[in-house]
Structure 1
């Protein structure tokens, strides 16, 4: 464990140090050169994590005694669409998760069906890019299990998560929040689709009925209010082609920690 933490410290510290050394007028002007350096930093972070850590290396897990008394809800607290309101009113009985795109066997699963599948429970720390963190217990279906059932096509490289929340109008005009990860993170053993939090059903403010938990990345990658997972070869056709709502607004696509 000590060796793993040392490697993580090196990765995070190197990235933060590079960012601090560049802070100054370029940050304020939003110049192309600064954007290119940020992109380089993202590439270095991803490359270093993938080089030093096994694809299956686990994020630290905690005990129930470590759990935070309050787990903050961030971003959207409840989607305001009529469709979501109707689903929530009926306790999500009519909600279904669709998995499609570059798959041989598209899936459409109810919440009850997901809960009957093999599950994983993990107590992990959620680290927000805004600087706060919280430890919570999550229960859900390993994402890799569903992808195996859907049978990804050979040219599938990424998963795009389509969500029920609008948050604000997205840049492609659809009004739908989205996020994406690659297949390395998708098949990681701690990457789950969580329907339970702290021993109860996932609360609406925290993403009910289903949210992504991708434990080796920062909080904005953990998409809430999941409706559809689309396997794609590229996310260039979504938003501005950066792979997510916040990525289209300047955040890094790879938010590894």
Structure 2
């Protein structure tokens, strides 16, 4: 077992253990203040430990193309409901736009062609799902840092929030639409990309077409799919359920480092 793999497993234990508790039907425990405090402490420990062991620019392991998984399971939604997404899909996403706004100097609305004209990165990495499976895929997209530098973050920006087209129909004070977020350390990490390609082809619908987030040092639920908007903010207050992510609103850890 390689040293990198050992560190990734060690760093992921607290996140996987806590999240698995919710997946197994124990989400009611999130209402228990003592349990919630323990989980918050575990999340802080995971984040602190990973940031201490790995430099901010340390890369997740990348694999040769020969290691790409023949089957890559779908995580989360496989096809968003709603007429709007269906219309965009039927038009080949020609009318789709990624809005980048919030605490930025120059808000933008970018087409898929605009994104493909920006500098790109291709990486073959392993996707680790909180449900216990993993798969290796090849991803191509524009580094998130390139987009953020293009709009220019204001000094008050602390987080980047990703708003998505898939509606899970559940809510704790939000719209029910999927969303996720990163701090600026992970937002500017070289392997954090807005991916429009998978395994040498356009991103399939089941894997988030036309655009998804890849943040290779965190678990799969952080890899938001069907992106519509990227928002720079100083706080999660007032954004959906206020915890920084759809599953986080239901008790998952916000920091899902592996």
**Stretches of structure 2 lacking an aligned partner (at least 5 in a row):** none
Aligned to 1:199: 200
Structure 1 residues 40 and 218: CA distance shift in structure 2, 3 A: same
Residue 18 (structure 1) shift: 8.4
Alignment of 1:15-94 (within 5 A): 15=14, 30=29, 31-94=32-95
Alignment of 1:145-224 (within 5 A): 145-224=146-225
Residue 52 (structure 1) shift: 1.3
Alpha-carbon distance in structure 2 between the residues aligned to 1:17 and 1:95: 35
Residue 176 (structure 1) shift: 1.7
Question: Higher relative CO (CA 8 A, sep ≥ 6), structure 1 or 2?
Answer: 2
Residue 17 (structure 1) shift: 10
Secondary structure, counterpart of 1:155 in structure 2: coil
Q: What TM-score, normalized to structure 2?
A: 0.92
Secondary structure, counterpart of 2:218 in structure 1: coil
Give the conservation status (yes or no) of the 8 Å contact 2:125–2:137: yes
| Cα deviation digits, residues 60-111 of structure 1 (max 9, x gap) | 0011111110111121111111111110000000101010000001111100
**Stretches of structure 1 lacking an aligned partner (at least 5 in a row):** none
Structure 1 residues 171 and 10: CA distance shift in structure 2, 3 A: closer
Structure 1 residues 227 and 18: CA distance shift in structure 2, 3 A: closer
Structure 1 residues 254 and 28: CA distance shift in structure 2, 3 A: closer
Give the conservation status (yes or no) of the 8 Å contact 2:12–2:256: no
Alpha-carbon distance in structure 2 between the residues aligned to 1:176 and 1:10: 32
Residue 35 (structure 1) shift: 1.1
Aligned to 2:111: 110
Q: What TM-score, normalized to structure 1?
A: 0.92
